[in-house]
Amino acid sequence: MQEVIRVENLTKRFGQVVAVNSVTFSIKVGEIFGVLGPNGAGKTTLVRLLNGVLTPSGGRALVIGLDPVTQGTKVRKLTGVLTEAPAVYERLTARENLLFFGALYQVPPTVLPRRVEKLLATFGLSERADDKVGAFSKGMKQRLALARTLIHDPPLLFLDEPTAGLDPEVSHQVNELIKDLKQSGHTVFLCTHNLAEAQHLCDRVAVLNRGHLLALGTPVELERKLWPASWVDLELWALPPENLISSLRAIPGVKEVVLNHTHLAVQVNRRERIPYIVAEVARRGGQILRVNPRERSLEEIYLELQQRYIAQAGLDGSGRENKEKVVKG
Ligand SMILES: Nc1ncnc2c1ncn2[C@@H]1O[C@H](COP(=O)(O)OP(=O)(O)OP(=O)(O)O)[C@@H](O)[C@H]1O
């Protein structure tokens, strides 16, 4: 599949602070790519580098085949950026905001009015189109800000915390809109602190801390890397034959077997062993009702990555350097 973003050893320093530290990744057309990390991890800096608003200290990026350093204006015509604070004018109405930004992005006057009406309808703002934005709720402002990022019909969107501060219902609406964007072929670069949302929305995630890329992949890939061993639960129709446990323990890669009435839990050194477990239970006459490989949430994966990074880098829980650990390490 075609690449929309390619980043190679991208680095940005602000004095002593390395905000982005030799980061390499690529993003394919139509992906929702989550960028996760604590405050100060480098997410916003990355967005600004990719839009040519900042110049890298090292490495390079290609965005839709363009170099943001030398072709920043062209890049920004093809990207929509939703910043943390919705960048809409409170003294203008919703419709005026969209018309204004459309003109700014040089959307042809023959196209603009129709596009504005379509966006107002898509984002549920048609009825309030002529009200001043200052009177809007936070959720409405955020929906308008999202509509604004789409006014020039960019194929690539950078969304920085799109649901921050929104109530669950509006967050849900915004997330549904993000999914619709994917359906219509857009690529989304999503910076978020909300791990449940990221798990639900993102095809792949990048986890950052202090500018370092700690991990990159689908949540399942990250889980397998972090915890190669895993548990599978089997629900059986009736008590299994007595010798089942010993025959399961004899299978290479099986670490533990726990039987509780008709519930069987097996720990394997690699997930790839699970089909052998199922086959053995069936071969021994066990009647399987359900097989459930245990999965970790993205939140568990994220916290584990951050903790391992903190321990390895000799930092304390707040991210400050832990001198004692560094010396001992
Ligand atoms: N213009 C700047 N001048 C100096 N330092 C900066 C500048 N922009 C960012 N930084 C520093 O770079 C680091 C990364 O900041 P950045 O805003 O990219 O993090 P972030 O992951 O977006 O954080 P948050 O989740 O709080 O938005 C921080 O240490 C920040 O203080």
269-300 pLDDT tens trace? 988 899 999 999 999 999 999 999 998 999 99
Is residue 167 very low, low, confident or very high in pLDDT (cuts 50, 70, 90)? confident
The 10s digit of each residue's pLDDT in 21-46 is 999 999 999 999 999 999 999 999 99
Q: Residue 321's pLDDT is what? A: 55
Of 18, 35, 44, best ligand 1 pocket probe by most atoms within 8 Å of the beta carbon: 44
68-109 residue pLDDT tens: 999 999 999 999 999 877 688 999 999 999 999 999 999 999
* pLDDT value for 186: 94
Task: Give the closest residue (by CA) to ligand 1 atom 31.
Answer: 40
Question: 20 C-alpha to center of ligand 1: Å?
Answer: 9
Rounded to whole angstroms, the Cα distance separating 236 from 261 reads: 9
**Res. 258 pLDDT band, cuts 50 70 90:** very high
Q: Pick the residue whose CA is nearest to atom 1 on ligand 1.
A: 14
Does residue 327 carry a pLDDT above 50?
no
Kindly give, in sequence order, each residue whose CB lies less than 8 Å from that of residue 279, ignoring residues fewer than 6 positions away.
Answer: none
Q: What do you get for the CA distance between the two ends of the chain, in Å?
A: 43
CB neighbour list of residue 117: distance below 8 Å, 6 or more residues apart: 126
CATH topology of domain 228-293: Alpha-Beta Plaits (3.30.70)
Reported as a pLDDT band with limits 50, 70 and 90, residue 166 is confident
Most ligand 1 atoms within 8 A of CB, residue of 12, 13, 14 to mutate: 14
Can you give the pLDDT at residue 266?
96
Residues 168-176, mean pLDDT to the nearest whole number:
86
Tell how far the Cα of 210 is from the centroid of ligand 1, in angstroms: 9
Cβ contacts of residue 108 below 8 Å, gap of 6+? none
For the chain, what percent of residues have pLDDT higher than 70? Answer: 95
CA of residue 39 to ligand 1 center, whole Å? 8
Tokens of 104: 């700014």
C-alpha to C-alpha distance for 49 and 177, rounded to whole angstroms: 26
Write out the E strands in the chain: 3-14, 17-28, 32-36, 58-63, 79-82, 156-160, 187-192, 204-209, 212-217, 230-236, 254-260, 263-268, 288-293
Q: What are phi and psi of 187, to 5 degrees?
A: -105, 135
pLDDT at 313: 80
pLDDT digits (tens, 9 = 90+) for 193-218: 999 999 999 999 999 999 999 999 99
Nearest residue to 279 via CA among 224, 313, 232: 232
Q: Which long-range contacts (CB under 8 A, 24 or more apart) does 303-306 make?
A: 304/226, 305/207, 305/214, 305/215, 305/222, 305/226, 306/38, 306/207, 306/209, 306/214
d(CA 43, CA 198): 14
Find the residues whose C-beta lies inside 6 A of ligand 1: 14, 17, 19, 37, 39-45
Report how far apart, in Å, the C-alpha atoms of 34 and of each of 196, 213, 279 are.
12, 13, 37
Least trusted range by pLDDT, from 258-262, 266-270, 309-313: 309-313
How is the chain split into domains, by residue range?
3-223, 228-293, 298-328
What predicted TM-score, i.e. pTM, was given to this entire model?
0.85
Round the CA-based radius of gyration of the chain to a whole number and report it.
25
Please identify, in words, the CATH class of the domain defined by 3-223.
alpha beta
Tokens 């603009």 label which residue?
112
pLDDT at 174: 85
Distance CA 169, CA 197 (A): 13
| pLDDT for 117 | 95
Picking from 215, 187, 180, 190, the residue whose alpha carbon sits closest to that of residue 307 is 215
C-alpha 44 to ligand 1 mean position (Å): 7
Model confidence at 224, pLDDT cuts 50, 70, 90, reads confident
Distance of CA 14 from the midpoint of ligand 1 (Å): 9
Q: How confident is the model at residue 319, as a pLDDT?
A: 54
> How far away, in angstroms, is 18 Cα from ligand 1 center?
9
pLDDT of residue 329: 27
Confidence of residue 324 (pLDDT cuts 50, 70, 90): very low
- Alpha-carbon dihedral angle through residues 225, 226, 229, 235, given to the nearest 10 degrees: -100
